[in-house]
Structure 1
Amino acid sequence: MLGCGSRHRDGRSVAGVSSEKMLTRIGGLLRQAESTDNEHESAAFMAAAQRLATASSIDLAVARAHATGREQRVTPTQRLVHIGEPGKRGLRTYAQLFLVIAAANDVQCDIAQTSAVVYAYGFAADIDVCEALYTSLLVQMVRASDTYIKSGTYRSETTVRTVVERRGGRRVTSRVRRPVAAVTARLNFQTAYAARIGQRLADAKQEAQTEAVSAPETSAETALVLRGKELELRDYYREHSTARGTWRGVKATAGHSSDARRAGDRAARTARLGNSPELPSPRGRIGS
């Protein structure tokens, strides 16, 4: 495994009720994002969904900070997120997509060397948000990359390959230019897609947190709660993580395609959020 770098008076859990309301509201924004063909409206709904997720997480943190007496205090947890079966193509880019979503939602992750499983550490509501976003964005990433590959535009580009030949009983290594392969184009497209999604979510998170701590009447308390949550999650991760080494994502040896990366970045800039029935499970696992 590698590193990635309270209750109501009626007995219901504050975290559970807040989490349900949060997911319902986020789901509404996701459906709005997916139902519009206007890319600017879609981007606005996406940012709103992320801001709501961040703001809701802050509310949960405040609830935890005020939990006293017999009230049950919500603590971090660990959850396994199955990306797919070991050996399947695309696992690294799929895992990368989940990791950038997690980074924007206060969830720390370890990952199996095969990239088939992600170990998510965080508060349950935050992990729920990550899985909902991942499920939606994974479908869009795969569809967009399929469309790009079918267009064939990557074929006009070449990339440098290392070729090993036998000449007179000796191994001779040379570097030659070859047309970009479909698998290379797909990996580059999805890598750029994940990177841009990560930046968009990070920007939305920063905007939400800046707004949350700018309210004069609650800014000091909110800042302290956020810091407390950060420290609690850090301590939990250190105590429970057994990761060794660092996950390096998509290998550089896969080759480079500038055209595919630009296309992946463009697709991610206009990505729409929403749960999709095409996935067999809420975690977007690659089938066997």
Structure 2
Amino acid sequence: MSAREIIDRVRAGTLDHEAALDALTGTPAAETDAVLRAALTGEFDRLFGNGWQPLELHRVVARRGDPLQARLVAEAAAAFLAGKAPVDPAWRAESDALQLRDQRKTDRIALLDAALGLLDELRRLPAIETLIPPPGTPSTTVHHHADRRVLDKVRALLAKAEATDFPAEAESYSAKAQELIARYRIEEVTAPAVDVTPFARRIGVDHPYENEKAALLDAVAKANTCRTVWSPELAFSTVFGFDTDIDAVELLYTSLLVQASRAMTRDEPAKGKARIKAFRRSFLIAYAGRIGERLRQATDRELSGHDDLLPVLRNREVQVHEAMDRAFPHTVRVRSSRVDSMEGWESGRAAADEANLR
């Protein structure tokens, strides 16, 4: 078979990876490289043109553990935007961030092996919702992110919460962070009218215990007037909300996950693989539920005395729901994970009390 026939069969799913690699080692190198490069470019063009952003595609590929494949994604992102205009600043920033990754040379067979595996993976990925217009596509969206000074203060507080070994201190720092976020939301809705609309952002959810981590993200989102749609097959959740609220959700979720992991490791049983697994899953279920309660309580305290703002805030929630329904008109509610360890449940509730608000 020619190199083109081999690659076409890989893209069609009728030739497995190992057989294709063996066959390609016997074809002329120049022909093989040209055909494989063209096939990969075609898949990257399809995905980047249909919703995928550089960092999230890089993350999905990097989860397989092959740094060469991740490098190919970075190179493809740079090539995709070359010569195109206009380019959304966020899309360019993601591509630029990837170019700082490892650029070491490698041998041709290893690169051929990685490229074939990547081609097989890319062909399986579907088109997804376009959140940032791809290069060459005009955009009329105007993002309104939170004041950097506020975000820096929140980051500093959460960093202290992550660093301390004293639960009371972590609670105090996390509480202050949520109070700042709620206060900023009040300032935003009382400011002179600015034409802002809800958007969406995808946040990666890593294994293990993806469902439970996605539940934590959902709890944080709901406490900050956002909504999430969990896509387990692609390992990310799409968070809908106003930019400032999504900024806060992303910061809080990342920090709370660090705090949860530390508390979970501290409290888990010493022996028994099955017991530890049940403990961790139950811990995260309880932690997410309690975190959601306490974040909502903190927000309610900040909103007390601002009854005049409730109609405005309710209208924002309606807009967020409408944006989610337009993007995902056929969502399915997932069943809650089962609690198999009361020890883990109780520990998760206690850790949430420590990590967050009184």
> What TM-score do the two structures reach when normalised by structure 2?
0.54
Aligned pair in 2 of structure 1 residues 208, 91: CA closer, same or farther (>3 Å)?
same
Q: Given the alignment of the two structures, is residue 258 of structure 1 paired with residue 342 of structure 2, yes or no?
A: yes
Q: Given the alignment of the two structures, is residue 66 of structure 1 paired with residue 193 of structure 2, yes or no?
A: yes
Q: Given the alignment of the two structures, is residue 77 of structure 1 paired with residue 161 of structure 2, yes or no?
A: no
Residues 95 and 115, structure 1, Cα contact 8 Å, conserved in 2: no
Q: Given the alignment of the two structures, is residue 50 of structure 1 paired with residue 169 of structure 2, yes or no?
A: no
Distance 2:151 2:302 in 1: 17
Distance 2:310 2:277 in 1: 45
Distance 2:235 2:159 in 1: 29
Which residue in 2 is equivalent to 1:146?
265
Structure 1 residue ranges without an equivalent (≥5): 1-12, 68-72, 156-178, 214-218, 274-288
1:225 to 312, 323, 335: 312
Which residue in 2 is equivalent to 1:118?
237
Q: Given the alignment of the two structures, is residue 203 of structure 1 paired with residue 297 of structure 2, yes or no?
A: yes
1:234 to 321, 326, 332: 321
Q: What does 1:92-111 correspond to in 2, within 5 Å? A: 92-111=211-230
Structure 2 residue ranges without an equivalent (≥5): 1-141
The letter for the 2-side match of 1:139 is V
Distance 2:267 2:234 in 1: 24
Q: Given the alignment of the two structures, is residue 137 of structure 1 paired with residue 242 of structure 2, yes or no?
A: no
The letter for the 2-side match of 1:194 is A
Which residue in 2 is equivalent to 1:247?
334
Distance 1:98 1:28 in 2: 20
Residues 110 and 243, structure 1, Cα contact 8 Å, conserved in 2: no
The letter for the 2-side match of 1:204 is A
Distance 1:105 1:227 in 2: 12
| Deviation >6 Å, runs of 4+ | none
Distance 1:24 1:149 in 2: 33
Which residue in 1 is equivalent to 2:285?
191
Report how far residue 24 of structure 1 moved.
1.8
Report how far residue 235 of structure 1 moved.
2.5
Report how far residue 89 of structure 1 moved.
2.8
Distance 1:36 1:183 in 2: 26
Report how far residue 45 of structure 1 moved.
2.6
Report how far residue 147 of structure 1 moved.
2.5
Distance 1:37 1:197 in 2: 19
DSSP 3-state at the match of 1:270: helix
Cα deviation digits, residues 256-284 of structure 1 (max 9, x gap): 211121112112211279xxxxxxxxxxx
Cα deviation digits, residues 108-155 of structure 1 (max 9, x gap): 111114482111110111111111111111122122222333544xx6
Distance 2:275 2:270 in 1: 13
Aligned pair in 2 of structure 1 residues 34, 187: CA closer, same or farther (>3 Å)?
closer
Equivalences, count: 216
Q: Identity of aligned pairs, percent?
A: 29
- Tell me: higher relative CO, structure 1 or 2? Use CA pairs within 8 A at least 6 residues apart: 1
Cα deviation digits, residues 13-57 of structure 1 (max 9, x gap): 9944x5312212212322443455553343233222112111212
DSSP 3-state at the match of 1:244: coil
Distance 1:139 1:270 in 2: 13
Say what the alpha-carbon RMSD is for the aligned residues. Answer: 2.7
Which residue in 2 is equivalent to 1:283?
none
Distance 1:188 1:100 in 2: 16
Distance 2:298 2:289 in 1: 14
Distance 1:191 1:263 in 2: 11
Residues 33 and 272, structure 1, Cα contact 8 Å, conserved in 2: no
> What TM-score do the two structures reach when normalised by structure 1?
0.66
The letter for the 1-side match of 2:310 is A
Which residue in 1 is equivalent to 2:153?
25
Which residue in 2 is equivalent to 1:182?
276
Higher strand share: 1
DSSP 3-state at the match of 1:181: helix
Report how far residue 231 of structure 1 moved.
2.5
Aligned pair in 2 of structure 1 residues 113, 36: CA closer, same or farther (>3 Å)?
closer
Distance 1:43 1:147 in 2: 17
Distance 1:105 1:49 in 2: 12
Aligned pair in 2 of structure 1 residues 267, 30: CA closer, same or farther (>3 Å)?
same
The letter for the 1-side match of 2:279 is A
